[in-house]
Structure 1
Amino acid sequence: MIVRLCPALLFCLLFVSPLLAAEPAAKSKASLGMNLAGPVDWNTELPFVDVFRQSRPWVSQQQGSPWGQGPELALDEHGWVKSLESGCWAESPLCTIQGGHYPSGDFTVLYDGKGKLDFSGAAEVTSEEPGRLTLNVDAGRGGFSLQIRETDKSDYLRNIRVIMPGHVETYEQEPWNPAFLKLWRGVACLRFMDFMHTNDSTISTWAERPTMEDATWSQHGVPLEAMVDLVNRLECDAWFCMPHKADDDYVRRFAAQTKEKLDPQRKVYIEYSNEVWNGQFQQNRYAAEQGQKLGFADKAWEAAWYYTAYRSVEIFQIWQKEFGRQRLVRVLPSQAANPYVAQQILNFRDAAKQADALAIAPYLSMNLSPTGKPSSEEVASWTVDRLLDHAEQHSLPECTKWMEENHQLAAKHKLQLLAYEGGQHFVGVGGGESNEELTKLLHAANSNPRLGEIYAKYFAAWEANGGGIFCYFSSVGSWSKWGSWGALQSLDEDPADSPKYQAIAAWAQKLGQPIGE
């Protein structure tokens, strides 16, 4: 997980944000959206009944060599292994989840082609026939690996599926884990930023997009077809992040295919990449270079802001032509802590006049470093109550101010105010993440019922400041020194044990969304 540094700590705050003298706009109707976790082998959200969908890309192994040091693998256009050199094999780790937080029991492995599969770790083969294996998996032993030991060059192993217990008869018609669907049924919108592996994406053309035939979706993200199928099933809207390098043809085809497959009652939120203003991502450097080439600004950060506006409008225009205007929400994103950034993006070439919304990430922030005030070392000695006092007395007023300022700015431009991300942001940074006592404290705070009470005030502040859809970050994910982002740590966690989830669900229910019911 890439650490999300508090916007207040980034260089942009060198600019002074002027007071915004706009009359408040009418309040938008608030609603709960959700950011989903990205497809990787350690994903504890487990959205697919075919766990091979989030398997790790093939690791080349060679007898007598260190792990992962085999020769380059011969792969087809979808990532399937076409041939193996003598003494070599290809390996893919699956369900590398500790604590038994994925199903145990009999998994069914289906495949096309001829060759030999083997398994290591928590899985043992109990039956085998051409094209089909049964694995007995003990999740308490950790994850397991699938290995291609032999493959026929003329009919190589491909279309491998590893189906959870109880789903082999239905996985084609029902590819989504029922527990995953149940968790977020009633959500207003799903933001697919991590589902699409948006940060640092290498995709530039339609030919490079992920497809339903790919060996794994952990490399380039989940295909559009699957994302549209998910929102159709959940009867919610979709929030797509266009890759920062995507050319016009990619955008055009993405929009056209969405129109073809999306339920006509559903809306689409369109955003250019993710946090292009944020210097820790490649999309920021790319936008800065493009903006400088176009002569928008000499300073890299300004060039990135202006290119965000420029490219966003180009993308909006393509979507309007291919998808239509009625169900499209055109989103200009900015940095919550510094409305000056939003001013630059909204004003550049009148971008605001060609958009519908300003989106920010008003995190309840506490980013703790060895040199910060308070320092990570000092905070590590606090009690949970003292930390939550700080969150309530400092972090909450701070992010409420961000909401107020950005609402005023959105109102000035007659735009909705949305949250592309939000939630608690208690994390060590700049070396603070290596303080084990601090990590324990932050995890304890995320498990404390009082955080749910603070969340209630946090969401009330969002409503009071005219906020519309609020895409919480994030759905399900294990906690670590890099942050406690998941509302739940695993799909099998009892929601009643998570104050964060309970507060999120209670707010959604108050808004008329049946989350958790």
Structure 2
Amino acid sequence: MLSFTSTSGPDLQNISVLQPGYDLASKSNITNLMVTHLSRFSIIHFMDWTTTNTNLEETIPFIANQLNSNVDIWINIPYGATDEYVLNVAQLMLNQLNPTINIYVEFSNELWNLIFAQATANLKATNDSVLNQGDPLRLAYDNSANYWYWAFRRIASQIKRIFDLFKIVFGQENVGPWKRIRSILAGQCVNPTIIIQGLDYLNKVYGSPSTFLHGIAIAPYFDLSQYKTWSNLTTDQVIEGFNSSIQTFLPERGWSQQAPVGVHVVYAAWYGLAVHGYEGGPDTAAGCGGCSLSAKINATRDNRMTDLCVSFLNGWYRSGFQPLNWWVTGAAQITTYTSWNLLEDMRQETLIDTTTMFNSSSPVAQLP
């Protein structure tokens, strides 16, 4: 990767680096290939683009406005964002984003997941609020002593705060369910307690969650199921494991501790909320990412993966859910740590035919 250092001196300034086929007049930061690729989707989740786990940048309108179709955007307000920061982001979107584009707004990312610094920070702020500050957010409204419940409720309180701030900028008529600004409460797919605590808290402390939220979101990943920790797997066993895992996400499983997706279905319906997938797709890293890597690579490239992915998505939509943000839609290598990329080379559709999964008329399929 090309980088420039010590750029504050009197040396060369305002350098433009262009790929072949582009000229200085356009100075686009996004290639035609990328524009074509992104234009095939209905929602683009910009979490990794803006490195949400640390900060939010101002490039989203520039990219979204260039797409060839009306693609909605999903943004993550970083943990620790002040009211002023949120208002500035809202104003930026109002001023610069195509007004026909809807905006899904989520607070930070996976605040239940302690591998991220923001999860620890949220837990610390929660305890301080309840134990030292007199519980101004009423996180222990029911006298619960469970600090994890408090933390899950604080997530809900923060997305409500963000909702209120966006309403100041966009107006009440443009913020809410199925309006232009769509606030999302995200939880963990396998642990409905996170969403349950958040929604019940909003309902008890502020009123019906559908007043503040467009919907909830989870991240359904299908993994290798019974083969997650096995070594020396064959390609067929990887495919079999994927298929077994996908069955657990299908609506026919109902709702129970063994079918947590169904619990989210019921709770969202109870409160009149949409269900989205903030992430989702295949996962070969769970269990033992480095085990049987060759078989995992071969399985990911196998034509049967198309049928598996279609089955997975069909089950998702049979549950009545809204779009799932495939993690990730760009190109990357399959490694010990990741296999969830849709593409391995941006110059190809992919090594499997994804046109049946997303858009059969996708112009990406005709790219060299």
Q: TM-score range by the shorter chain?
A: 0.7 to 0.9
Give CA-to-partner distance per residue, 1:362-421, whole Å, 9 cap, x none. 111237xxxxx6463xx222211122112212x012233443221121111100010111
In structure 1, the partner of 2:327 is 473
Give CA-to-partner distance per residue, 1:339-362, whole Å, 9 cap, x none. 122101111132723111111111
In structure 2, the partner of 1:334 is 187
Paired amino acid for 1:330: S
Describe the shift of the 1:410–1:180 C-alpha distance in structure 2 as closer, same or farther (beyond 3 A): same
SS of the equivalent of 1:506 reads coil
Q: How does 1:269-280 map to 2 (within 5 A)?
A: 269-280=104-115
Counterparts of 1:421 and 1:255 in 2: how far apart (Å)? Answer: 23
In structure 2, the partner of 1:230 is 63
Describe the shift of the 1:275–1:407 C-alpha distance in structure 2 as closer, same or farther (beyond 3 A): same
In structure 1, the partner of 2:232 is 381
**Contact 1:487 1:498 (C-alpha < 8 Å) held by counterparts:** no
Counterparts of 1:171 and 1:380 in 2: how far apart (Å)? Answer: 51
Counterparts of 2:62 and 2:29 in 1: how far apart (Å)? Answer: 10
Q: Please, what TM-score do these two structures have when normalized by structure 1? A: 0.60
SS of the equivalent of 2:334 reads coil
Q: How does 1:68-147 map to 2 (within 5 A)?
A: 81-82=7-8
In structure 2, the partner of 1:319 is 166
In structure 2, the partner of 1:413 is 271
SS of the equivalent of 1:275 reads coil
Paired amino acid for 2:62: D
* Aligned pair partner of 2:89 in 254, 266, 271: 254
Paired amino acid for 2:114: G
Describe the shift of the 1:487–1:421 C-alpha distance in structure 2 as closer, same or farther (beyond 3 A): same
Counterparts of 1:294 and 1:415 in 2: how far apart (Å)? Answer: 28
**Contact 2:227 2:238 (C-alpha < 8 Å) held by counterparts:** no
SS of the equivalent of 1:406 reads helix
Larger Rg: 1
1:398 aligns to 2:231 (yes or no): no
SS of the equivalent of 1:330 reads strand
RMSD of aligned C-alpha atoms? Answer: 2.3
Counterparts of 1:411 and 1:513 in 2: how far apart (Å)? Answer: 33
Describe the shift of the 1:440–1:292 C-alpha distance in structure 2 as closer, same or farther (beyond 3 A): same
Moved over 4 A (4+): 297-300, 512-517
Structure number having the greater strand percentage = 1
Give CA-to-partner distance per residue, 1:448-475, whole Å, 9 cap, x none. 1111111111111011101112111002
In structure 2, the partner of 1:168 is 23
Counterparts of 2:223 and 2:199 in 1: how far apart (Å)? Answer: 25
Q: How does 1:435-450 map to 2 (within 5 A)?
A: 435=291, 438-450=292-304
Counterparts of 2:228 and 2:322 in 1: how far apart (Å)? Answer: 35
In structure 1, the partner of 2:118 is 283
Counterparts of 1:445 and 1:315 in 2: how far apart (Å)? Answer: 42
Counterparts of 1:428 and 1:158 in 2: how far apart (Å)? Answer: 46
In structure 2, the partner of 1:507 is 357
**Contact 1:163 1:171 (C-alpha < 8 Å) held by counterparts:** no
Residue ranges of structure 2 left out of the alignment (5+ in a row): 131-138, 251-258
Cα shift at 1:294: 1.4
Q: Please, what TM-score do these two structures have when normalized by structure 2? A: 0.83
Give CA-to-partner distance per residue, 1:240-288, whole Å, 9 cap, x none. 1000111110000110110011111110000001111111111101111
SS of the equivalent of 2:358 reads helix
SS of the equivalent of 1:241 reads strand
